[in-house]
Amino acid sequence: MSRRLRFKRNLGRPDVTPTARREELRYVRFEHASEVVLGVRYGPFSYLSDAREVLVGDDEAALEELVSWFDEHLDEPSRMVPFRDVGERRARRRKREALGQCWFREDAAAHIAKARALVAVLERAGIPFVERWSRRLPGKLCSEDGVQVVVVPYRDAYDEG
């Protein structure tokens, strides 16, 4: 037997099946237009208590209706940190704070429509938001379901618009 055949890399091991190719989806995120806290722009759910202090009448009722809809139809993410831990030393320094950002998958049309309505109500409370789109997975994956993904963002993860 030649030396080349004897030292074959995967000799006796089954071939590894390739992972399934990720669907070509776009992702959308609604985030505060200008406020950046520790390098992060927060989404609309972070500003609900601020809006409740300002809104009255029909706007307040619309806000509560939208929040109850999301409570029923949007599951809480299972993880807010990446699957592969970034190392014990860095994790202690961060104190395992929630790092993830939530993005809706583009095929979750009902959730995106309700999020747009929620953002409109929050803007009437004086809290400006922008809609960000990404043509690729916008960061390191933490959690995923049929409606949203949670990622730790890459530096230039999204496109304008």
Q: Could you report the per-residue pLDDT of 58-85, keeping only the tens digit for each?
A: 999 999 999 999 999 998 888 777 765 5
The tens digit of pLDDT for each residue in 145-154 reads 889 999 888 7
Strands 148-153 and 139-144, by their bridges, are: antiparallel
Question: Per the domain annotation, does 45 fall within a domain?
Answer: yes
Question: Per the domain annotation, does 18 fall within a domain?
Answer: no
Number of domains in the chain: 1
Start-to-end CA distance of the chain, whole Å, equals: 62
Q: What is the pLDDT of residue 113?
A: 97
Question: Per the domain annotation, does 66 fall within a domain?
Answer: yes
Question: Per the domain annotation, does 14 fall within a domain?
Answer: no
pTM: 0.74
Confidence of residue 88 (pLDDT cuts 50, 70, 90): low
Contact 134, 158 (CB under 8 A): yes
Contact 44, 118 (CB under 8 A): yes
User: How much is the average pLDDT of 102-126?
Assistant: 96
Question: Per the domain annotation, does 16 fall within a domain?
Answer: no
Question: Per the domain annotation, does 67 fall within a domain?
Answer: yes
Strands, sheet with 148-153, edge to edge from the N-terminal-most edge strand: 129-134, 27-32, 101-105, 148-153, 139-144
Q: What is the pLDDT of residue 25?
A: 86
Residue 86 predicted with pLDDT over 90: no
The tens digit of pLDDT for each residue in 48-58 reads 999 999 999 99
Question: Per the domain annotation, does 93 fall within a domain?
Answer: yes
Contact 129, 41 (CB under 8 A): no
Residue-range definition of the domain harbouring residue 137: 27-153
Question: Per the domain annotation, does 121 fall within a domain?
Answer: yes
Q: What is the pLDDT of residue 90?
A: 57
Q: What is the pLDDT of residue 8?
A: 52
The tens digit of pLDDT for each residue in 5-45 reads 555 555 555 665 655 556 678 999 999 988 777 667 899 99
Q: What is the pLDDT of residue 161?
A: 46
